[in-house]
Amino acid sequence: MDGVIWDWASFALRWLHVVTVIAWIGSSFYFVMVDLGLRPALNAPKGVGGETWQVHGGGFYHLQKYLVAPEGMPKELTWFKWESYGTWLSGFFLMCVVYYVGADLYLIDRAVLDVPHWAAIVISLATLASGWIVYDLICKSPVGEDTAKLAVAVYVLLVVEAFALTHLFSGRGAFVHIGAIVATIMTANVFLIIIPNQKKVVASLLRGEAPDPALGKQAKQRSNHNNYLTLPVVFLMLSGHYPLAFATRFNWVIVALVILIGGVIRHFFNTMHQHKPAPWWTWGVATALFLLVVWLSSFPAVSTQARAASLAPTPKVAAAMASPHFAAARDVVVAHCSMCHAQEPVWEGLAAPPKGVVLNEDRAIAAQAGLIELQAVRTNAMPPRGVAHIVNLADDDRRLLAAWIATIPAVR
Ligand code: HEC
């Protein structure tokens, strides 16, 4: 039953996470667009720096932006923060369910760094916290006063982190962590800089004082970073489904290129929203870099099989292999799954094992008992239904798998 509960917890959190992301990124892209499209305001109240007209859903909207703040506090004020906090919280709990509970499968690569669960989780939390601390220090240092220098410094920081993480975790675990570090920076920008600065502005308005323009400037800088970092984060969060991105030799270089691709694409839209001539060159650069990513992904990962095989199996895996039903179950898996789920699949048209799932030798099969149960015992998702006329699992075969799984402790 354990597997069922964790799988539904993961689905529910993913559902929530995607919804909060839509709300956050939707409103954030919208406000960046409004901001960039502002035109000088005629006959506007004092303090208005620009205005814009929009039409949507059957009505016209006339938006005016006060550069620092209006003279007095408006009666009602809508804040945008829970979209961001909800995204971070749902994402963090989703990461706990997928990568901490399933650390053996998704986070740890014992051939890269052989650490127990708890240590992997400590490293994970430390990278999230330190990513923000270093970024914030860079922004507040003299480098932070020059936009171009700051962009280069933050970029170098992220690439160094990508290199380090791919040498601490599995490729998949590393990619989600780089995404999570950037996402933590983005939410911390909202939680620790943007919202507190806005609160200070509101407090000075309530006191009838003129707010400090530096507060708004700093908030704008961080909001601008969030804007440019959004597309790379979305790529990193989706990358877990694409082993060619995360499980090939130059995976960290791929991250470095994807940050640039996301950045230039944002630049295209940001420039368009300013009603300036479209910088079409950005699509040329993005396409060239993307083709470079595709080419880099054709270099297989350096084989760590020998090192992985030399390590003693974890107690859970050893228990799964010691089961008296293991041999029969393994034969079923090898006969019905390994033509696709191998480092070099023999199934025509498959360049790599689907989802990176390899099921062609004892230890890999034992380690993935929970996944096998989910895909081929509790459900009939595998082998894929479309090829059931060629490779199918008879009910007897599924019963052999079930008999094995019933004898081992929850692996997932
Ligand atoms: C004909 C090729 C083929 C065979 C045979 C096959 N699979 Fe798969 N498997 C796939 C493909 C393709 C995917 C990716 C599906 C997707 O994109 O959602 C996959 C995905 C998976 C996943 C990962 C699911 C996820 O979403 O993370 C597991 C686990 C899995 N298969 C187990 C098995 C088991 C167990 C068997 C044997 C009983 C099996 N597969 C047989 C092609 C195959």
The tens place of each residue's pLDDT in the chain, 412 residues long, gives 677 899 999 999 999 999 999 999 999 999 999 999 999 988 888 889 899 999 999 999 999 998 878 888 888 999 999 999 999 999 999 999 999 998 988 999 988 999 999 999 999 999 999 999 999 999 999 999 999 999 999 999 999 999 999 999 999 999 999 999 999 999 999 999 999 999 999 999 888 888 898 998 999 999 999 999 999 999 999 999 999 999 999 999 999 999 999 999 999 999 999 999 999 999 999 999 999 999 999 998 887 777 777 888 888 889 999 999 999 999 999 999 999 999 889 998 888 889 889 999 999 999 999 999 999 999 999 999 888 778 888 999 999 999 999 998 764 4
Which pLDDT belongs to residue 182? 97
Ligand 1 centroid to residue 321 C-alpha, Å: 21
The tokens describing 399, both together, are: 């019963």
Residue nearest to atom 25 of ligand 1 (CA): 355
Contact 287, 309 (CB under 8 A): no
Rounded alpha-carbon distances, angstroms, from residue 377 to 77, 354, 401: 54, 19, 7
355 CB under 6 A from ligand 1?
Answer: yes
Rounded CA-CA distance 323/210 in Å is 74
CA distances for 255 relative to 245, 259, 265, angstroms: 9, 6, 15
Query: Which residue among 337, 359, 389, 412 is best mutated to probe the pocket of ligand 1, counting the most ligand atoms within 8 A of its Cβ?
Result: 337
pLDDT at 1: 64
Determine if ligand 1 sits within 6 Å of the CB of residue 354.
yes
Contacts of 111 (CB under 8 A, 6+ apart): 304, 305, 307, 308, 311
Task: Indicate whether residue 177 lines ligand 1 (CB < 6 A).
Answer: no
Q: What is the pLDDT of residue 43?
A: 87
Ligand 1 centroid distance, CA of 176 (Å):
22
State in Å: Cα 354 to ligand 1 middle. Answer: 6
Q: What is the pLDDT of residue 412?
A: 42
pLDDT value at position 72? 80
